[in-house]
Chain A
Amino acid sequence: MNTETKTVKTAKPGKVPRTFRKVMSVERWNKRWFRYIEQENDRSFFRSCFTESQGSMLGLAPADKAQAKRMKRLCKAIVANRGVFKAGPILAAAILVVGIAVFGLFFMNPLLEKAAELGLQAAFGAKAEVDGLRFSPFGMSFSMDHVAVADREEPMTNLFETGRLALAISPAAVFRGKLYIREATADSISVGTPRTVSGALPDKPASAKKAAEPAPDAPPLVDFKKFDAQALLEQEKAKLASPVAYAQATASYIEASARWKDRAAASSEAVENLQAQTKTVLAIDPKAITSVEAAAAAIASVKSALGSVGTVVAEAKAVASGVGDDTKAAAALLAAARAALPADIRYLVSLVDPKSGAAMAALEPQVKAMLSSQAKQYLYYAQRAWTILSGLADKVPSGKAAAKKPARVVARGRDVYFPSTAYPRFRLGRLSSSFKDDDKAWDIVLSEISTEPALVPAPATLSLALAVGSSAFKADAKLDLRGQPAWSAALDGRGFGVQLGSALASLGLEGLQGSLAGSGTARGSSPDDFSMGLVLELSKASVAKPEGTFGSAFAQALAKTESLQADVGFVRAAGSDDTFTLTTNIDELVGQAISALAKQYADKAKAQVEKAMRDYAAKELEGKVSTQELDALAALIRGDEGAAGGIKAALDKKLADLEARAKELGAGALQGLGIPSIPGIPSTGKP
């Protein structure tokens, strides 16, 4: 077509245009040229430009410039009328397609790679690296050669790292502006791998970590063969109650003595002074008094002495009472301290009694610490997963798709809604990975992760299976955020070789090994509110280097039964302390194994412990308690109190005698007269 147009453009008067120079049959000439001319006058003109000769059409040269111009226009019209399709737009579309293809081949993947990195960084709050991303827009499939996301809390460690990832995305969701990863597979996944560069983002600092809890103290396990009662006593002294009670009693006696010492001395001195003062008054002989005046003077002296006696007697009584009370209190503390002694002896004896639960008490904190260190790692990952999934769900206002009603506007028509699938903003249908790491075969399936869990037909699940030779482990976890948040997990594993090494060396169980099997469940509503139960069995168990009585007995017991069972319970509830329970057959095993040993050593050890404790109490505890000073003080003050009372009684008697003598003298001297009143002596009214 273009050639023909160019040919016509070059047509000049006097020459036949190149396009029409070719001789062709009438039929072909008609089909190729003539039938595309629509106007009758143009058809006549075009026909006149050719001549028919022997059934062929020959082009004639245009007569003038106007004819040449008209031929040119007709040629254009003929070309325009030929065919159905237009070359220009088709070519443009082809160029567009090629352009898109070039973009897809050279620019799209690097841009998407960057976008994926930014998205992962926003989701995990740490640096992310994505390499070798390829996107197939027609199949809506992604693949990435390598993905690494740093741990926000540990910037030099990867939260996870994967090998080749392949993703299949739902085109239907993409055209609705949603991301639905129908299936994703990973060749390898590893967690906690080290990084060469920090993965911290400037605006996403790591959260403050809680200080590690100190390791729990465990009661000692006694080695009967090397038993030293004194050493055990010294080791456990801080945990005994009687030393503290004795110390309190001793202090009480000392404090009481110090408190009353000076006051008692002052009281004694006052009594002595009183004795000296009343000596002359008490020496008065009433019969030696011959006059009423002398009797009145003697009575006045006695009364004066009685006034001083009252104060001294009251002070002596008060001091005696106070000393008595303090003595009782100190004695009570001493009695309590003595009463605590048998309990302490029982505690010490329990440490050498293999059936008293000491083995369990010793083992539980160690096992708890050991399990906690493993469990904390997985709990941390669970919390991170919960936070991320909850964060995804929180970013959308509502999980329910708004129901739309058909509009009634006729001018714009009405929309009829069909029950099509409502897609969440992000949904990961299935992420699966089966890969081998040395001799370990992993199988991981993660499904239904979504920003709007209510739009997903099933809860998020994680299924993890690990096989190592004849060993197998399986974990199934479920997280349902579609209504009230809830999660659960089921664990099952068997045939795993356990080598505890020196983890329990302090208990004499260095090199504890065996084949571990177990199952368990966990459920809760959040990472901070859940309960977990595990049933574990360590079969074919043995101790490589047993030490001490406990270790030896344990090793013997294991050699017989080859099975160690444990029920582990853990409860974490919001607002209260964690509860850890551990029930094992260790005590039973040890009790059985140690019974013979106990007959040989334990009774002797118990006697030694009791003697050591009693000796210690007698020398160190009772010996330090000094009751003598307070007792002497009490005796002294009691003597003073008696002496003061005796003086008062003597003075009272002396006064009575003197008054009687005065009455007698008065009656003899004034016979027949009115009885004169003697000061200080009440009148009887009788002669």
Chain B
Amino acid sequence: MFLKLIARFFAALNSNAKKEQIAAGIACGLLLGLVPAGNLLWIALFLLTFFFKIHYGMQMLAMALFKLLALPLAPLVDKLGWAVLNAPFLQPAFTSLADMPIAPLTRFNNTLVMGGLLVGIVLWVPAFFGFRSLVILYRKKLLPKLEQTKFYKAFMKLPGVAKLAGSVASISGMGKD
């Protein structure tokens, strides 16, 4: 399973998948990872991503990673959510929101939901551009250099690795043929 995930990760990086799609997948995974699941907001965000061409594999991987990362970050996110939800100037807006038909189902009044949403939204754009740059860096600089090293060539000849490389190639459809 883990090898398959790794394979999918490298397959995405080494495929013709658009770098923006990969970056958007990771950024959306970050957002979904930080917002607790089980409420209408998370479901709406998750369903929204289906309407856009983003890399779902990357999104799921990133979401799993950021869910793990969200646990140690929970106290900070909670404090941020608490501060925002109790901000005096926002009280009328939140009170109106609480009276709206569907809004309470989003659990916007939960500190982790509100904090996670804010952190996720704020980090989405930098995450997008950051990971986009990383993908470019990997594809243009890192991968060509790596492929020229003797270590890489020797490593690729190992029986298990050769099998993995085959899997990656089959998944990504890379033009190695």
Which of A38, A175, A410, A417 has a CB less than 8 Å from the CB of B139?
A: A38
Asked whether, in the complex, the Cβ of B139 is within 8 Å of the Cβ of A39, the reply is yes
Nearest opposing residue in chain B for A93, CB measure = B51
Asked whether, in the complex, the Cβ of A39 is within 8 Å of the Cβ of B53, the reply is no
- Against B, the Cβ 8 Å flags (1 = close, 0 = not) of A66-82 are 10011001101110110
A430 vs B114: C-alpha distance when bound (angstroms): 37
A37 vs B16: C-alpha distance when bound (angstroms): 6
Query: Is residue A376 contacting chain B, with contact meaning CB distance below 8 A?
Result: no
Asked whether, in the complex, the Cβ of B139 is within 8 Å of the Cβ of A411, the reply is no
Asked whether, in the complex, the Cβ of A45 is within 8 Å of the Cβ of B52, the reply is no
A176 touching B104 in the complex, CB below 8 Å, given contacts A70-B177, A413-B112, A420-B99: yes
Query: Is residue B171 contacting chain A, with contact meaning CB distance below 8 A?
Result: no
A39 touching B174 in the complex, CB below 8 Å, given contacts A77-B16, A174-B101, A176-B104: yes
Query: Is residue B98 contacting chain A, with contact meaning CB distance below 8 A?
Result: yes
Asked whether, in the complex, the Cβ of B177 is within 8 Å of the Cβ of A89, the reply is no
B residues 77-95 with Cβ under 8 Å of A?
78, 81-82, 85-86, 91, 94-95
Q: Which residues of A contact B121 (CB under 8 A)?
A: none
Which of B18, B19, B175 has a CB less than 8 Å from the CB of A45?
A: B175
Nearest Cβ in chain B — how far from A181, in angstroms? 15
A413 touching B101 in the complex, CB below 8 Å, given contacts A37-B16, A74-B16, A418-B91: no
Q: Which residues of A contact B139 (CB under 8 A)?
A: 38-40
Asked whether, in the complex, the Cβ of A420 is within 8 Å of the Cβ of B95, the reply is yes
Asked whether, in the complex, the Cβ of B173 is within 8 Å of the Cβ of A73, the reply is yes
- Against A, the Cβ 8 Å flags (1 = close, 0 = not) of B26-50 are 0000000000100000000000001
A80 vs B74: C-alpha distance when bound (angstroms): 37
Query: Is residue A405 contacting chain B, with contact meaning CB distance below 8 A?
Result: no
Q: Which residues of B contact A80 (CB under 8 A)?
A: 17-18, 53
Q: Which residues of B contact A416 (CB under 8 A)?
A: 82, 85-86, 94, 109-111
A616 vs B126: C-alpha distance when bound (angstroms): 122
Query: Is residue B75 contacting chain A, with contact meaning CB distance below 8 A?
Result: yes
Asked whether, in the complex, the Cβ of B94 is within 8 Å of the Cβ of A38, the reply is no
A76 vs B50: C-alpha distance when bound (angstroms): 19
Q: Which residues of A contact B94 (CB under 8 A)?
A: 416, 418
Asked whether, in the complex, the Cβ of B101 is within 8 Å of the Cβ of A83, the reply is no
Query: Is residue A86 contacting chain B, with contact meaning CB distance below 8 A?
Result: yes
Q: Which residues of B contact A511 (CB under 8 A)?
A: none
Asked whether, in the complex, the Cβ of B52 is within 8 Å of the Cβ of A86, the reply is yes
Nearest Cβ in chain A — how far from B142, in angstroms? 13
Nearest opposing residue in chain A for B79, CB measure = A410
Nearest Cβ in chain B — how far from A590, in angstroms? 67
Nearest Cβ in chain B — how far from A100, in angstroms? 15
Query: Is residue A403 contacting chain B, with contact meaning CB distance below 8 A?
Result: no
Asked whether, in the complex, the Cβ of B50 is within 8 Å of the Cβ of A175, the reply is no
Query: Is residue A196 contacting chain B, with contact meaning CB distance below 8 A?
Result: no
A78 vs B18: C-alpha distance when bound (angstroms): 9
Nearest Cβ in chain A — how far from B133, in angstroms? 14
Asked whether, in the complex, the Cβ of A415 is within 8 Å of the Cβ of B109, the reply is yes
B residues 99-155 with Cβ under 8 Å of A?
99-102, 104-105, 107, 109-113, 115, 139-140, 144
A413 vs B75: C-alpha distance when bound (angstroms): 9
Query: Is residue B59 contacting chain A, with contact meaning CB distance below 8 A?
Result: no
Query: Is residue B167 contacting chain A, with contact meaning CB distance below 8 A?
Result: no
Asked whether, in the complex, the Cβ of B16 is within 8 Å of the Cβ of A38, the reply is yes
Nearest Cβ in chain A — how far from B53, in angstroms? 5
Query: Is residue A172 contacting chain B, with contact meaning CB distance below 8 A?
Result: yes
A252 vs B74: C-alpha distance when bound (angstroms): 107
- Interface size classification for chain B: 35 or more
- Against B, the Cβ 8 Å flags (1 = close, 0 = not) of A159-176 are 000000000000110111
Asked whether, in the complex, the Cβ of B52 is within 8 Å of the Cβ of A77, the reply is no
A582 vs B71: C-alpha distance when bound (angstroms): 81
A74 vs B173: C-alpha distance when bound (angstroms): 9
Asked whether, in the complex, the Cβ of A90 is within 8 Å of the Cβ of B51, the reply is yes
Asked whether, in the complex, the Cβ of B53 is within 8 Å of the Cβ of A413, the reply is no
Q: Which residues of A contact B173 (CB under 8 A)?
A: 73, 76-77
Nearest opposing residue in chain B for A420, CB measure = B98
Q: Which residues of B contact A45 (CB under 8 A)?
A: 175
Which of A81, A86, A414, A415 has a CB less than 8 Å from the CB of B51?
A: A86
Which of B16, B105, B107: most chain A CB closer than 10 A?
Answer: B16
A421 vs B104: C-alpha distance when bound (angstroms): 12
Asked whether, in the complex, the Cβ of A172 is within 8 Å of the Cβ of B82, the reply is no
Asked whether, in the complex, the Cβ of B51 is within 8 Å of the Cβ of A42, the reply is no
A170 vs B123: C-alpha distance when bound (angstroms): 37
Nearest opposing residue in chain B for A38, CB measure = B16
Query: Is residue A412 contacting chain B, with contact meaning CB distance below 8 A?
Result: yes
Query: Is residue A2 contacting chain B, with contact meaning CB distance below 8 A?
Result: no
Asked whether, in the complex, the Cβ of B16 is within 8 Å of the Cβ of A81, the reply is yes
Query: Is residue A673 contacting chain B, with contact meaning CB distance below 8 A?
Result: no
Asked whether, in the complex, the Cβ of B109 is within 8 Å of the Cβ of A418, the reply is yes
A69 vs B173: C-alpha distance when bound (angstroms): 11
A77 vs B105: C-alpha distance when bound (angstroms): 39
Asked whether, in the complex, the Cβ of A418 is within 8 Å of the Cβ of B175, the reply is no
Nearest Cβ in chain B — how far from A75, in angstroms? 11
Which of A39, A41, A69, A83: most chain B CB closer than 10 A?
Answer: A39
Nearest Cβ in chain B — how far from A81, in angstroms? 4
Nearest Cβ in chain A — how far from B111, in angstroms? 4
Q: Which residues of A contact B71 (CB under 8 A)?
A: 411
Nearest Cβ in chain A — how far from B16, in angstroms? 4
A419 vs B51: C-alpha distance when bound (angstroms): 36
Q: Which residues of B contact A420 (CB under 8 A)?
A: 95, 98-99, 104
A73 vs B173: C-alpha distance when bound (angstroms): 7
Nearest Cβ in chain A — how far from B49, in angstroms? 9
A residues 71-120 with Cβ under 8 Å of B?
73-74, 76-78, 80-81, 83-86, 89-90, 93
Query: Is residue A580 contacting chain B, with contact meaning CB distance below 8 A?
Result: no
Q: Which residues of A contact B85 (CB under 8 A)?
A: 416
Q: Which residues of B contact A39 (CB under 8 A)?
A: 14-16, 139, 174-175
Residues in chain B within 8 A of chain A (CB atoms): 14-19, 21, 36, 50-53, 71, 74-75, 78, 81-82, 85-86, 91, 94-95, 97-102, 104-105, 107, 109-113, 115, 139-140, 144, 173-177
Interface contacts beyond A38-B16, A410-B75, A413-B78: sample of 9 additional A-B pairs, CB < 8 Å, sorted by A: A39-B16, A39-B174, A39-B175, A40-B139, A81-B21, A86-B51, A413-B110, A416-B85, A416-B86
What are 27 A-B contacts defined by CB distance under 8 Å? A37-B16, A38-B18, A38-B139, A39-B16, A42-B174, A45-B175, A74-B175, A77-B15, A77-B16, A77-B173, A80-B17, A81-B16, A84-B52, A85-B51, A171-B101, A172-B100, A172-B101, A175-B105, A410-B74, A410-B75, A411-B71, A411-B74, A414-B82, A415-B111, A416-B85, A416-B86, A420-B104
- For the complex of A and B, 8 pairs with smallest distance between CB atoms: A413-B112, A420-B98, A77-B16, A171-B101, A418-B98, A89-B50, A416-B85, A81-B18
